[in-house]
Structure 1
Amino acid sequence: MALNKHSKRLTQDPSQPASQAMLYAVGLTDDDMNKPQIGIASTGYDGNPCNMHLNNLAKEIKTHTNTNDQVGLTFNTIGVSDGISMGTSGMNYSLASRDIIADSMETVVNAQSYDGLIGVVGCDKNMPGAIIAMLRLNRPSIMVYGGSIASGKYKGRKLNIVSAFEALGQKVAGEIDEKEYREIIKSAIPGAGACGGMYTANTMASSIECMGMALPYNSSIPAENPNKLSEAERTAKAMKNLLEL
């Protein structure tokens, strides 16, 4: 069975010379033109710790996809940080962003005739958006969650995003001063990854893994754990297996 079920309409059809010329232009070889093409959709962007590392993860996945007899082609879509926009009019855009993500992933995969989709996601609406697209497409698909953030730390106490909210209450109640309040905020989130707790991101990731749309252990490997990058190879091999089914 041909693994390039969808992309061959562009790469093998003699009536599609312009399509083939453009694919050669992006670096595909004669050998690549016979391989399945996998869209790797990243919601990575600099403005949110949940998403700030995802483009690097997508790049690693592309590398392993290409070494597993597939052609990985990355593209990006939007994201909205609930943690940043919460309490402002920006939250009006959060739920709507889920549908934009789904629409954009579906659009690219269908328009470009990709044979499969790997969604690299990391925040609350990214994950359902990617899954909605995968269900609509009904093609081999895997979601890769970017992982949870590490705990923050202040005066020997572990912190997370909720600690920042609690600190405001403590300051208003007179339990801590302005200096301590600022230090807690600065220490609550130490780097890349989704909010550290069973909030929307980690809950969605766990649920999606249970449904079989993400690989085993994907939801539980933290964002900055070295094993997170090792998931790239597992994902590429799993996609090849899905194509062969």
Structure 2
Amino acid sequence: MNKHKSKAVTEGIEKAPMRSLFYAMGYTKEELDRPLIGIVSAHSDIVPGHFHLDKIVEAVKAGVRMAGGTPIMVPSIGVCDGIAMGHVGMKYSLPSRELIADSVETMAQAHAFDGLVLVPNCDKIVPGMVMGALRLNLPTVVVSGGPMMSGCVDNEDTSLSKMFEAVGARKANLIDDEKLIEFETNTCPGCGSCSGMYTANSMNCLCEALGIALPGNGTIPAVQARRLQLAKKAGMAIMDLVEKDIKIKDIIHEKSIRNALTCDMALGCSSNSVLHLLAISNEAG
């Protein structure tokens, strides 16, 4: 049984000031007697893949509580590569991965969490959170926000790549303004990571292959009830890992990374997955 790291902030006479700060937020003694589980959320109002993560986090919290832990949400930044594209914003996308890794490491170490549930969804956020968790080597589970449903134009499925093609078609006068507006209002029908095998969906599938996400993490659509059920199961799963003291480096190692590369080739993942698997491998040593 893991001797909980959180005892460093919850147990003993010297920790009375720390406990008083927990009590200021409404935590109870019973909650402080349980393992403290950091839930790292990339929720924001600017990224379609992250727009609904507050609901995913609430489901994770429910799972953690059902399994006897105390969930504590902490935030992470996240850039929408789609919105950042085509202007200076794109220069901030890849560097944001390192900021995310740093923030996961900082928040977990500073507050002595016993385990982590990572709740990302999009391109740099998934690998960034995993990289940060590897530095800490705590019990860790990933549960993403899930993929966006495909859009529909002219009775055909559309995704963001079709949107860029529509811009080209309009510039070449192959379609008119009205048709372009039809594409832009029907291509992305709701929240989730952009439909298509781009980096986000690639990395969410590869997290399953690496063994740090439950089955369905990469494929259950963002808007389905099964996604919330998966989040609850992830909350329960982290408590099992904490109980058994199974850390992220027990799961991510040379064999699991090779497994992820095999899965990458089979699925035809984004070429960016190579960039991120190398960085994850580096953090894992």
Structures share fold, TM-score greater than 0.5: yes
Q: Structure 2: which 5+ residue stretches go unaligned?
A: 245-285
Aligned to 2:97: 98
After superposition, give the CA deviation of every residue in 1:166-203 in whole Å (9 maximum; x if it has no partner).
10111122211011111101111001001101111111
After superposition, give the CA deviation of every residue in 1:146-174 in whole Å (9 maximum; x if it has no partner).
11100111221111101110101111222
Aligned to 1:227: 226
Q: Contact 1:121/1:146 (CA < 8 Å) preserved in 2?
A: yes
TM-aligned CA deviation for residue 4 of structure 1 = 5.5
Q: Contact 2:97/2:124 (CA < 8 Å) preserved in 1?
A: yes
Structure 2 distance, partners of 1:49, 1:29, is: 35
Q: Contact 1:10/1:20 (CA < 8 Å) preserved in 2?
A: yes
* Matching of residues 52-201 of structure 1 within 5 Å: 52-201=51-200
Q: Contact 1:149/1:189 (CA < 8 Å) preserved in 2?
A: yes
Count the aligned residue pairs: 244
Q: Contact 1:116/1:141 (CA < 8 Å) preserved in 2?
A: yes
TM-aligned CA deviation for residue 232 of structure 1 = 2.1
TM-aligned CA deviation for residue 64 of structure 1 = 2.2
1:202 aligns with 2:230: no
TM-aligned CA deviation for residue 230 of structure 1 = 0.4
Question: Greater CA deviation, 89-98 or 154-163?
Answer: 154-163
Task: Say what the alpha-carbon RMSD is for the aligned residues.
Answer: 1.1
Structure 2 distance, partners of 1:82, 1:218, is: 21
List 4+ stretches of structure 1 deviating above 6 A: none
TM-aligned CA deviation for residue 43 of structure 1 = 0.4
Structure 2 distance, partners of 1:78, 1:238, is: 25
If each structure's helix is expressed as a fraction of its own residues, which one has the higher value?
2
Give the letter for the 2:64 counterpart.
T
TM-aligned CA deviation for residue 60 of structure 1 = 1.7
Aligned to 1:9: 8
Structure 2 distance, partners of 1:148, 1:240, is: 26
**Percentage identity across paired residues of the two chains:** 38
After superposition, give the CA deviation of every residue in 1:21-76 in whole Å (9 maximum; x if it has no partner).
11122222222221100000100101111110112211221122122210000011
